[in-house]
Structure 1
């Protein structure tokens, strides 16, 4: 490493440590106010997806993606979930639990970890882009759902993944992809959100440099580097309402376990991405757009702007919820996903099954 490059790297590490300490203390205080002593999710097994049927799907550039599925392989409909930045497929824990019971044999659900996240393989930092994530989704679809109708569900960066897929593969809509849900997402860069302010921090530019030229050394400083990004993500995760301590701890584990090279690489991708060209494609299918009105990373204005371009959309703004709305207010998100599937499934088989099951329960 040249003297100049080493100097940039050392400056990055020093700056990361300095900024992170202050930010971390501020967020710790805010989280203390938000969690509740009464924890309705104390006994939840948030790792339950690991017990589902699993396989590995290899991307075009050789990255192994961890995939899990639940429901019959011959179900009439497949719903594929793409998680957000610094998370993993477990971010859809509540959806997997509730919707498995709701849909029964009518729907198969497929979850996967994005490249560099969870149990999927790391990749070259140059590949940590939203267009590449769209291609990864196409690979997952070609392997896991080569036939039959599909509904795509994306949270945060996962929503951007779905948008990118629509832009790059418009022929799939509505011939194969019959419905789309975009949760806490945006069609273009998030530079106007608080995350955008962090992205302007010169510390992160130095960290990006270090990730490329000294990845092993950066890994040793993951705690310091994460403390720049982590406080913003944690502060934006939940709204003003009381939040389960177990849910907060689970989301913190997902963020902490994400490699620093992944965090730094995808931060730049979130800043520069522009998938607005996907909106005319999504206009062809029923869509669901969900956002918390306390979301600091992808404020509701982003969701409202997308909904205005999508004539077949349902817009759900969840009061008091933050960026991780599907973990914070899962019932509202689950109900909205059920409505989306009913709108997107021409045969109405899913809707019929649901009504029959509800009728049986009401007479039970």
Structure 2
């Protein structure tokens, strides 16, 4: 595990918070963050020709939640696969945040596993709703709606990144009887069981500019466009700078993740920020303790620092804790092979008797060439 001196970590966190505050009035921090990213971006882009829209061509459907919100769903793999893996994305992202997992794991698992991806409410191609519903508790209920429609029977493994991990926790707390009768495994990637007020993001959440935008989004929606720039200038730098670690990163991957962030509606951004601050799903941990669980994060994640992951792992006896050295918050985009391999391992642990042939496929894949 890569270590960072506490003083250095605290200094970088304070710089990020200060930079985000400066951007409320201008571009000083934006330029600073751009220079910071520039130092990390690769000159030669290994993903220059990558098609980041693979999911757009997959089987599509719409799941309507109990309160009438249409959720965009994509699937890959046969409907009668022995196992289904459902992915829930994070804050200000879309189902495409699992692009590399969809590309690699669909090929590796073949007909053994069906994968289901969906956009959370207010994100991507899914519908918006009343701001009062932008809560982690509601996201857990939305996940239950997705499961009821897309996976009415058979074992399921849940994978959540960031706010998606909180979605999984929320689901476990509200629907404990599903574990392990239906949900046989779970992955919490760059997530937290409790509010993130103690992270650098918490300092940003206390910025009065965000509360003003939140008020406008709720009570003066016709004027909210006037505050879009202010809100994005406050939160944008912290999201961009915390997305990736200090290692070199593909410019195409950075551009792809920023496109998802920029397309997020302003009401979604400010309301779910508040939800991330106040949520507490720690009661879900005893439920998740019933199934094999993967907990993964980057050691340079400033939004959900690794201390959050370590705390969850300490309460989950069947968990595997993976700290990815040099990676930031979007670890599944930054170090996809590490996360892919960990998910393969999770599925093997969660379904040892159902996927014997899958295990053989994995062994064949990793066998050294003669």
Q: Common fold, TM-score beyond 0.5? A: yes
Gaps of 5+ in 2: 1-20
Match of 2:364 among 339, 359, 363: 359
Aligned to 1:28: 34
Aligned to 1:49: 55
Distance in 2 of aligned mates of 1:30 and 1:165:
37
Distance in 2 of aligned mates of 1:57 and 1:84:
19
1:267 aligns with 2:273: yes
Gaps of 5+ in 1: 1-14
Match of 2:107 among 67, 92, 101: 101
**Equivalent residues of 2:306, 2:323 under 8 A apart:** yes
**Equivalent residues of 1:152, 1:162 under 8 A apart:** yes
Match of 1:236 among 205, 222, 242: 242
**Equivalent residues of 1:184, 1:323 under 8 A apart:** yes
1:152 aligns with 2:158: yes
Distance in 1 of aligned mates of 2:222 and 2:359:
52
Tell me by how many angstroms 1:305 deviates: 0.2
Secondary structure of residue in 2 paired with 1:180: strand
**Equivalent residues of 2:82, 2:354 under 8 A apart:** no
Distance in 2 of aligned mates of 1:220 and 1:60:
33
Aligned to 1:130: 136
**Equivalent residues of 1:17, 1:225 under 8 A apart:** no
Distance in 1 of aligned mates of 2:119 and 2:345:
25
Aligned to 2:254: 248
TM-score (norm 2): 0.91
Deviates more, 1:20-29 or 1:285-294: 20-29
Distance in 1 of aligned mates of 2:135 and 2:331:
24
1:210 aligns with 2:210: no
Match of 2:324 among 313, 318, 323: 318
Tell me by how many angstroms 1:359 deviates: 3.2
Aligned to 2:198: 192
Match of 2:43 among 37, 54, 67: 37
Tell me by how many angstroms 1:26 deviates: 2.2
Tell me by how many angstroms 1:48 deviates: 1.1
CA separation of 1:226 and 1:203: change in aligned 2, threshold 3 A:
same
Secondary structure of residue in 2 paired with 1:18: coil
Match of 2:335 among 311, 329, 338: 329
Deviates more, 1:352-361 or 1:223-232: 352-361
Match of 1:83 among 53, 74, 89: 89
Secondary structure of residue in 1 paired with 2:47: coil
TM-score (norm 1): 0.93
Number of residue-to-residue matches in the alignment:
349
Moved over 6 A (4+): none
